Amino acid sequence: MPAVERNGTKLWHRRTTGRQMAIWFGWLCGLALFLYCWQIVSEATTWFFVWDAPRIAGDIGSRMVPPRWSYVDKLWQPLWDTINIATVGTALAIVMAVPVAFLAARNTTPSATFIRPIALLIIVSSRSINSLIWALLLVSIIGPGVLAGTIAIGLRSIGFVAKLLYEAIEEIDHTQVEAITATGARPSQVMAYAIVPQIMPAFAGISVFRWDINIRESTVLGLVGAGGIGLQLQASLNVLAWPQVTVILIAILMTVLVSEWVSAKVRHAII
Amino acid sequence: MSATSFDARRWRPPPLIKNRHLRWAVGIGAAVYFTVAIGSLEVNWMRIYEGLDRGWAFVLAFTQPDFTSRWQDIREGLTESLVMTVTSTVIGILISIPIGLGAARNIAPLPVYLLCRGIIAVSRSFQEVIIAIFFVAIFGFGPLAGVLTLSFATIGFLSKLLAEDIEDIDRSQAEAIRATGARWLQFMNYGIQPQVMPRLIGLSLYRLDINFRESAVVGLVGAGGIGATLNTAFDRYEFDTAAAILIAIIGIVMTAEYASGLIRARVQ
């Protein structure tokens, strides 16, 4: 620890003066960047609307109550669609993600120089693009509907499932693999008896976790026309039917809570 | 494992679900569900067939993305997205820290704890897009609505993880600081903060990354950022421009992930 001599007494400091200055300068740069960004946002904002916001918020709030409960009858079909999009989409993602994960894991990839980067690129591309954007793309390719939503959820989830799965594969206990190999097992047998049993709990946990996230994401896919309860939300918002919006939001909230509960239960049972 | 596992001819790897009846029930249930669910997908094969050309055009567009003809729009959209990311992450962190402290059971009194946990639950339950729709309705079109949306979403993420981290701290260090007669602020500063700081920095960087990705989405409903440009490109079937935007997003996300990995490795 550096010391500064002042009036004959030594004062201890945590950092040297130069380092202290460097840290202070770092904070200054960060603050300047933030203020610059804020200024850009501020310039693009119509502040009149912002000052008016509390009144508008109150207005929307008063229109949203009481909820139109009778609208629930029209929501069962879209809710069923939403759950299907999430579940079938997750299944689709798992089917595609498992091979990608094995190609991406350092200890199982056939070629670390050629195939692994491709698998990692697939993972990153899938993860970087939100499911809504995937849905937007698929709606313009295969038309609006539940199918587009399902495929969007599937494509989006590949990255997530594959990333967590390949990390689990890389963390397996190597001695078991060696033991099975020593018995003269073929590579497929090593896979089946040494690797798969070790990653099975992680795999099931990841799948359920992603399913839970997908339920949330599939509730909004309808905003771009990809089916599910989001379609109803979009329709109600377009005609400013705020009491219906309240019912839809409550339905979404309930679905999310139930899926979270199911996912927590299942993961608890597995681990 | 039962005794049969010693019988060499009959040995099988132990199944994931031990109860045999439950295993069959889950298997059959899943099979029935998927049959029904896939059957309920209304697949319009004609429409898909027509769309295949467009799909192929999109794949081709990735090989020759068009950055130039809409460069002005792309540049403005990306700048706005980045600006929104930085602003919302900073505001989000500033708000999440007090809420995170309040949501940690070991340092907060019960009423504060319940209030903060309530805020976190609301923030986590709804997708960013839904929040964005409301903020656009309330604050008008533009990046401010996006910034507020992302800040709000950041609270749910960061406060929750921060609170969990604080609940897991080493109590003895905190006790030692308290035993010196430290005031509340000193207790936070010397007893709690050093223990959670590395993780907080890591989570903040991770959230910066997420906020950039989400900023591409909130634009779809008019809350500023690259999303609006992307939406227009898709609506006009300008797949080469859309491909360029997606490549730019992927590139920025990869760079950010790599950079935050380096910083996190140094901090932790």
Residue A10 distance to chain B (closest CA, Å): 23
Instruction: Tell me which of B31, B63, B95 is where a domain ends.
Output: B63
Query: What token pair was written down for B52?
Result: 């295949």
Is B168's pLDDT higher than 50?
yes
Residue B198's CATH number: 1.10.3720.10
Residue A1 has a pLDDT of 61
Q: Are residues B20 and B141 in the same domain?
A: no
Q: Which of B48, B130, B231 sits opposite A220 (nearest CB)?
A: B130
Burial (CB < 10 A; 0-12, 13-18, 19+), residue A182, is exposed
Residue B4 lies in a domain: no
State mean pLDDT over A72-97: 92
Report the DSSP beta bridge partners of residue A167: none
Burial (CB < 10 A; 0-12, 13-18, 19+), residue A260, is middle
Report the DSSP beta bridge partners of residue A12: A3
Q: Are residues B40 and B120 in the same domain?
A: no
pLDDT tens digits, B36-49: 888 877 777 888 88
The candidate with the shortest Cα–Cα distance to A220, out of B134, B25, B77, is B134
B14 sits in the region (left: phi over 0; alpha: psi -120 to 50; else beta) called beta
Q: Are residues B29 and B105 in the same domain?
A: no
Which pLDDT band holds residue B8 (cuts at 50, 70, 90)?
low
Q: In the A/B pair of chains, how many CB contacts fall below 8 A?
A: 151
Residue A269 has a pLDDT of 80
Q: Are residues B128 and B246 in the same domain?
A: yes
Q: Which is higher by pLDDT, A109 or A165?
A: A165
Is B9's pLDDT higher than 70?
no
Residue B101 distance to chain A (closest CA, Å): 23
Distances (CA, A) of B59 to B158, B203, B242, B243, B254: 37, 35, 11, 9, 21
Residue B1 lies in a domain: no
Q: Are residues B22 and B114 in the same domain?
A: no
Instruction: Tell me which of B31, B48, B63 is where a domain ends.
Output: B63
Q: Which of A88, A136, A193 sits opposite B234 (nearest CB)?
A: A136
Q: Are residues B243 and B181 in the same domain?
A: yes
Residue to substitute from A141, A213, A260, interface B, most B β-carbons within 10 A: A141
Residue B1 has a pLDDT of 45
**DSSP string over B85-146:** HHHHHHHHHHHHHHHHHHT-TTTS-HHHHHHHHHHHHHHHHS-HHHHHHHHHHHH-SSHHHH
Residue B8 lies in a domain: no
Its domain, for residue B122, covers 70-267
> Which residues on B lie below 8 Å from A252 (Cβ)?
125-126, 130
Instruction: Tell me which of B63, B89, B121 is where a domain ends.
Output: B63
Residue A271 has a pLDDT of 67
Residue B10 lies in a domain: no
Q: How many domains does chain B have?
A: 2
Q: Which is higher by pLDDT, B143 or A271?
A: B143
State mean pLDDT over A11-26: 83
Backbone phi and psi for residue B41, each to the nearest 5 degrees, phi listed first: -70, 115
Residue A160 has a pLDDT of 92
Q: Are residues B41 and B136 in the same domain?
A: no
State mean pLDDT over B8-12: 67
Verify whether the Cβ–Cβ distance A91 to B134 is below 8 Å.
no
Residue B9 lies in a domain: no
Residue A31 has a pLDDT of 93
Is A183's pLDDT higher than 60?
yes
Q: Are residues B48 and B79 in the same domain?
A: no
Q: Are residues B120 and B203 in the same domain?
A: yes
Chain mean pLDDT for chain A: 88
Residue B221, chain A, CB below 8 Å: the answer is yes
Q: Are residues B57 and B76 in the same domain?
A: no
Verify whether the Cβ–Cβ distance B37 to A224 is below 8 Å.
no
Cβ-contact A89, A157 below 8 angstroms: yes
pLDDT tens digits, A29-57: 999 999 999 998 888 888 888 888 889 88
- Does the CA dihedral A32-A37-A41-A44 come out positive or negative? positive
Residue B215 lies in a domain: yes
Q: Are residues B46 and B126 in the same domain?
A: no
Residue of A nearest to B228 (CA): A133
Is B201's pLDDT higher than 80?
yes
pLDDT tens digits, B137-160: 888 888 999 999 999 999 999 999
% residues pLDDT > 70 (chain B) = 95
State mean pLDDT over B94-113: 91
Is B5's pLDDT higher than 60?
no
Alpha carbons B112 and B105: distance in angstroms, whole number: 9
Q: Are residues B132 and B199 in the same domain?
A: yes
Residue B174 lies in a domain: yes
Alpha carbons A90 and A92: distance in angstroms, whole number: 5
Residue B3 lies in a domain: no
pLDDT tens digits, B216-226: 888 888 888 88
% residues pLDDT > 70 (chain A) = 99
Residue to substitute from A87, A131, A137, A207, interface B, most B β-carbons within 10 A: A137
Query: What token pair was written down for B84?
Result: 């929104």
Chain mean pLDDT for chain B: 86
Give the three-class secondary structure for B17.
Answer: coil
